[in-house]
Amino acid sequence: MVTSLSSWTDIALTSGLRLLGILLLAVILIRILKAFTQRLVQLATGESRVAQMREQQTRTLAGILYSAGTALIVTVAVVTALSEFGINIAPIAAAAGLASLALGFGAQHLVRDIINGFFIVFEDQYVVGDTVRLGEHSGRVEHMTLRRTVLRDGQGALVTIPNGEIRQVANLSRDWSQLFVDVTLANEEEVSRALAVLEEVSADMRGDDTWRAALVDGPRVLGVESLALTGVTLRLQLRTAPTRQHEVARELRRRIRARFEKERIGVASVERVALAGGT
């Protein structure tokens, strides 16, 4: 009886110490992993636009790394602990493999969303705050995870898009945006005179401190775009800071209209045409 009790005590002490060691090691590794991922985010913090984009990308990747690393550490700790109790883990591993296979078949769309979301983050296709066009939906990215992207569209609605359904991304917030403004003159107006006035309007706007920060290039008068029965169409090009092309174009149209009225130049129409975002 005493021998049996002593044997059980020895086993309990030995196994208990091993289990305690496994638990402590798992906790320490998780804490190290957390500190490492937090450090990654701190190193990416900054005030510039590029630094903010890098911070958002790093924060998402750090979250993925921490979650996956924690799951791996806990799994290894549990499997190691089970072996200390003399439990054969081979059948458990086989059952887990079959369960994972069945879950994979049943959650193909979820797996596809997560994989595509990972590549969106890893390749820095867009981050929270960017204005993007995803298929038929356009808007500002309000929230994103590995599974979904949430946009705020032009009507103010929140649009949730599974990442697995995103096939093409147009990011309108990177580097610069471009827009063309067409001015159609009445047929009786002199083209060379109108072009000279447009050059003056463009130069005035380029020299205006209020709008200089929004302009990357232009306004630039490209010349005669087309001839039609309705009149002669002249084209100007604008290249602005990301997402500011519309406000700059509105100001340019106002200036053109005011100057043409002053110079008594007849205008058939002033219209906006093709928009192309910089990449």
Same domain, 62 and 155: no
User: What is the pLDDT at residue 147?
Assistant: 84
Per-residue pLDDT tens digits for 230-244: 889 999 999 998 888
Please indicate, yes or no, whether residues 8 and 99 belong to a single structural domain of this protein.
yes
Same domain for 161 and 84? no
Are 183 and 152 contained in the same domain?
Answer: no
pLDDT at site 1: 47
d(CA 279, CA 270): 28
Domain end position, chosen among 140, 171, 202: 171
- On whether the CB atoms of residues 242 and 176 are closer than 8 A, the answer is yes
Are 188 and 141 in a shared domain?
no
pLDDT score recorded for residue 18? 75
What is the rounded CA–CA span in Å between residue 153 and residue 240? 22
Residue 37 shares a structural domain with residue 67: yes
* CA distance readout (Å), 268 to 183, 195, 228: 8, 15, 11
Query: How many independent structural domains does the chain possess?
Result: 3
- As to burial, measured by CB atoms within 10 angstroms (0-12 exposed, 13-18 middle, 19+ buried), residue 42 is exposed
73 domain residue, yes or no: yes
Residue 146 sits in the same domain as residue 54? no
Same domain, 196 and 267: yes
* 70: in domain: yes
Residues in the chain, overall count: 279
Could you tell me the CATH number of the domain that includes residue 146?
A: 2.30.30.60
CATH code for position 211 = 3.30.70.100
Query: Domain limits at 14?
Result: 2-106
Q: What percent of the chain has pLDDT over 70?
A: 74
For the stretch 159-170, pLDDT in tens is 999 998 999 999
Question: What pLDDT, on the 0 to 100 scale, is given for residue 130?
Answer: 87
33 and 129 share one domain: no
Q: How far apart are CA 192 and CA 175, in angstroms?
A: 34
CATH code for the domain in which residue 33 is found: 1.10.287.1260
Q: Is 98 found in the same domain as 7?
A: yes
* CA atoms of 76 and 226, how far apart (whole Å): 71
Could you report the per-residue pLDDT of 42-69, keeping only the tens digit for each?
Answer: 655 555 555 666 676 677 677 777 877 8
Q: Are 196 and 129 in the same domain?
A: no
**Pair (139, 48) in one structural domain:** no
Both tokens assigned to 2 = 């005493």
